[in-house]
C-alpha cells in the first residue's frame, strides 16, 4: 500500500494540469493506463506544455476498483496489484471515441479517427495507403491533415453534419488558424455525407458513402471513423460522483476535471484540471482566478457540440445482422425487442464482454435511447490474483 495527499487518475491534459497546480508541498501520484503520459492528444511528456516534477507518474497502470469510504484505489500493472490510499482524488480519466455500428464496421483496418492517429504516432506507417476519414467534428480535419503529412492518400473526408452548421461553427476559420487548410488542399471535404457500409474479406476493401440521394463506393485500405467523444466515466460512477461544483469538486475529497465532466476540448480540460489541482491542494483563490478562462472554453465547447450533433439517419444504418456489441457479437436484430439496457444484457449478453460496454454502451444509447446503469467493480478486466493480493494486504 502506498499513499499520497493527492492522487490523479489520468495523465492527459486535465490530469497533468491538476498535478502541476497541486504544487510541490503535496505528495502527488498520477496513475495512467497508457505507456506514456500526455493522454491521447499529447502522447508523451515531450509534447506537453508543462511538466509536473513534483508528481510521481505510474504509467501502464489501470485502476480496477475503488473504495470511496476508505479512500483507496486498487490498481494493477505488469508487476501485480497494489492499493493506493488518497487524501484527495482528482478524476481526469478523459474520453474515448464514439463508434456507431453500420454494416461491416467490425472489419479489420477500420479504426477510430483518433484511433488511427494514435496508431500512427506509435509507428504505424501509412505512406501510400488510401484512407477514408469519416464521422463528425473538427478532429476529422486534424486527423486527415496528419495522415497526409505521413504520406497517406485521403480521397475524402465525410462529415455527417450539414454545411450550414459546420460553416456557422467556423470550421474554415478554425482550420485556417491551425494551418490545416493548406495541408488539406486537394482533399474533398464533403458535408452531409456519411459511411453507410463497409465491405471486404478479412479486412475493409471499400466503403459505401451517402450524400443526399446519391451513394457510391470508395475503395480504401483503411477507414478512420469517429463520431465524436464520450466521457470515460466508469471510475466516477463507481464512486457515486455527481455533477461538479465551481471548484470541480463532486463529493467530499473527490474532484473531476476534463472530458470526464463532459466533452469540451483540450483548453477546457486544462482549465478544469488547473482549478481542480489548486482546489484539491487548498489554493482556493488561485483556483477562482481561472474561472473566466474556464467560462471562455465552455462557450467553444457548447458551440462545438451544437454544430456536430448527430443526424437521425445514422440510427437506421445497422441491419438485423449488424453486430452492436463487438465483444459478444450481439446483433442489432436481437436487440429490437429488448426495451432497456438491463433487459438486453440479461437476454443477449450485450455489454458483458471484456470492454464492459465501453463501445456498445454509448452506441446503444444513441441507437435505442438506453442508458447504461450500475457500474460495478472491477471496472476493467483484472486478474483474479489482484483481488487475492488485495485481500492479503488488509
Partner 1 sequence: MSETVRIFVDGEAVSVPETATVAVAVMIAGRSVFRRSVSGEPRGPLCGMGTCLECRLAVDGELHVRSCQTLCREGMRVVTA
Binding site for partner 1 (CB under 8 A): 33-35, 40, 60, 96-97, 99, 106-112, 114-119, 122-125, 202-203, 232, 323, 326-329, 353-355, 358-359, 381
Is the Cβ of residue 34 or residue 250 nearer to partner 1 in the bound state?
Answer: 34
Report the C-alpha gap between 382 and 107 in whole angstroms: 27
What is the Cα–Cα distance from 4 to 19, expressed in whole angstroms?
A: 12
Phi, psi torsion values for 274, nearest 5 degrees: -65, -45
Q: Cell for 268?
A: 477546457
Distance of CA 207 to the CA centre of its chain: 24
- State how far the alpha carbon of 69 is from the alpha carbons of 85, 87, 221, 254, 307, in Å: 11, 12, 50, 12, 41
Q: Which is nearer to partner 1, 206 or 358 (CB)?
A: 358
Q: Measured from the CB of residue 380, what is the shortest distance to partner 1 in angstroms?
A: 9
Cβ-based neighbour number of residue 205 at 10 Å = 16
- Other Cβ atoms within 10 Å of 285 Cβ, number: 7
| DSSP string of 85-121, one letter each residue | EEEEEEE---EEE-----TTTTSTTEE-HHHHHHHHH
Of 374, 354, 371, nearest in space to 363 by CA: 371
At residue 256, φ and ψ (nearest 5 deg) are -125, 140
User: Ramachandran region of residue 351, left (φ > 0), alpha (ψ -120 to 50) or beta?
Assistant: left
Distance between CA atoms of residues 334 and 187, nearest Å: 39
Which helix (H) or strand (E) is 226 found in, with range?
Answer: strand 222-226
Q: Distances from the Cα of 140 to the Cαs of 59, 132, 270, 334, in angstroms?
A: 28, 10, 22, 32
Contact 139, 178 (CB under 8 A): no
On whether the CB atoms of residues 263 and 230 are closer than 8 A, the answer is yes
Q: How far is the CB of 35 from partner 1 (least distance, A)?
A: 5
DSSP state of 250: E
Amino acid at each position: 500500500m502506498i499513499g499520497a495527499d493527492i492522487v490523479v487518475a489520468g495523465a492527459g491534459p486535465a490530469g497533468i494540469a491538476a498535478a502541476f497546480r497541486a504544487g510541490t508541498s503535496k505528495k502527488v501520484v498520477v496513475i495512467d493506463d497508457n505507456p506514456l503520459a500526455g493522454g491521447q492528444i499529447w502522447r508523451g511528456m515531450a509534447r506537453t506544455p508543462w511538466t509536473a516534477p513534483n508528481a510521481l507518474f505510474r504509467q501502464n497502470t489501470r485502476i480496477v476498483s475503488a473504495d470511496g469510504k476508505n479512500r483507496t484505489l486498487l490498481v494493477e500493472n505488469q508487476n501485480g496489484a497494489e492499493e493506493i490510499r488518497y487524501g484527495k482524488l482528482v478524476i481526469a480519466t478523459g474520453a474515448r471515441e464514439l463508434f456507431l455500428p453500420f454494416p461491416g464496421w467490425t472489419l479489420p483496418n477500420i479504426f477510430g479517427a483518433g484511433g488511427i492517429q494514435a496508431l500512427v504516432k506509435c509507428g504505424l506507417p501509412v505512406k501510400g495507403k488510401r484512407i477514408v476519414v469519416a464521422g463528425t467534428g473538427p478532429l476529422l480535419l486534424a486527423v486527415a491533415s496528419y495522415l497526409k503529412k505521413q504520406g497517406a492518400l485521403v480521397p475524402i473526408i465525410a462529415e455527417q453534419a450539414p454545411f450550414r452548421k459546420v460553416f456557422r461553427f467556423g470550421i474554415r476559420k478554425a482550420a485556417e488558424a491551425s494551418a490545416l487548410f493548406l495541408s488539406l488542399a486537394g482533399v474533398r471535404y464533403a458535408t452531409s455525407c456519411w459511411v453507410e457500409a463497409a465491405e471486404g474479406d478479412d479486412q475493409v476493401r471499400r466503403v459505401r458513402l451517402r450524400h443526399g440521394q446519391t451513394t457510391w463506393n470508395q475503395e480504401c485500405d483503411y477507414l478512420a471513423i469517429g463520431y465524436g467523444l464520450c466521457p470515460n466515466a466508469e471510475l466516477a460512477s463507481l464512486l457515486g460522483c455527481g455533477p461538479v461544483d465551481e471548484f470541480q469538486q463532486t463529493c467530499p475529497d473527490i474532484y473531476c476535471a476534463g472530458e470526464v465532466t463532459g466533452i469540451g476540448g483540450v483548453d477546457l480540460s486544462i482549465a478544469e484540471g488547473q482549478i481542480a489541482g489548486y482546489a484539491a491542494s487548498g489554493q482556493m483563490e488561485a483556483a477562482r482566478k481561472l474561472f473566466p478562462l474556464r467560462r471562455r472554453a465552455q462557450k467553444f465547447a457548447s458551440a462545438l457540440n451544437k454544430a456536430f450533433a448527430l443526424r437521425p439517419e445514422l440510427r437506421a444504418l445497422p441491419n438485423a445482422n449488424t453486430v452492436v456489441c463487438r465483444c459478444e457479437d450481439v446483433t442489432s436484430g436481437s436487440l429490437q425487442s429488448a426495451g432497456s439496457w438491463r433487459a438486453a444484457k440479461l437476454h443477449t449478453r450485450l455489454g458483458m464482454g471484456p470492454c464492459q460496454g465501453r463501445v456498445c454502451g454509448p452506441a446503444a444509447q444513441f441507437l435505442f435511447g438506453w442508458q447504461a446503469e450500475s457500474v460495478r467493480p472491477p471496472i476493467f478486466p483484472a486478474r483474479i490474483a489482484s483481488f487475492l493480493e488485495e485481500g492479503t494486504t488488509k
